[in-house]
Amino acid sequence: MKLKNITYTLIAQTLFFSPLMFGAAPAAAPKRSLKDYKFKGAVVLPITAITKIDPQTKASQEVKYFLLGRERHKKTWNAFGGDRDPQENHPEMTAGRELYEETAGALFTSPDDTIKYINIDKGHTQAIIAHRGGVNYITAISKDKSKKFVKEFYPALKKAKSKHMREMDAIALVREDKLQSALAQGKLEVDATIIGENGKNMKETINLRPFFVKVMQPYFVGKKGTLGKNSKIIFYD
């Protein structure tokens, strides 16, 4: 899949996730708040859409993809995130900062901009899953931001001086249905398209980080949880 043959588009909120789409139903009230959740870390799982153009028929097909990063030292693939800093009293602060750092500043201009973007009231974040002390934001990325990121990630990575901005050394696209299936079944491998630094993409089977799979599995398997005060938030512990 060549980058010049695809365009990135933002899918409308109704086409993304709601806490009920995989059969997850709320338990009894009272509804919980993320502010009260004792989180240890937070991540963002970006999702976008790619419109593929058939060179012969010129027909287009829109396919949704998740974006993952490869951890430099572990060589496993993961969403973008990490541990909570002591001064961070809300998971969106951790998730936003970590997303900014692990995308080497190529996706957003600052941690504050990232935090504002993933804020649930802004409409980009489609679901928030809290489980095992981790808080996971499934967030839609717009056409412009996706194109900018793909183009600028590797150059930004080379220029990054902070070790926190060099924690991911590669990026990949995973079809929505493939990642959903892998997470639901607890599999640690999934087929992906690795975006190459030289502009050439490679289809490979990648290894997922085990903790990422464990945290996300209840949501994708349709396990019942407790809805938060906002219906996009679901708690599993």
Q: Does residue 5 have a pLDDT over 90?
A: no
| pLDDT tens digits along 72-106 | 999 999 999 999 999 999 999 999 999 999 999 99
pLDDT grade for 6, boundaries at 50, 70 and 90 = very low
pLDDT grade for 182, boundaries at 50, 70 and 90 = very high
The upper half-sphere exposure of residue 137, i.e. CA atoms within 13 Å in the direction of its Cβ, equals: 34
Q: Does residue 24 have a pLDDT over 80?
A: no
Identify which has the larger pLDDT, 15 or 37. 37
pLDDT of residue 164: 93
Average pLDDT of span 122-137: 97
Average pLDDT of span 177-196: 97
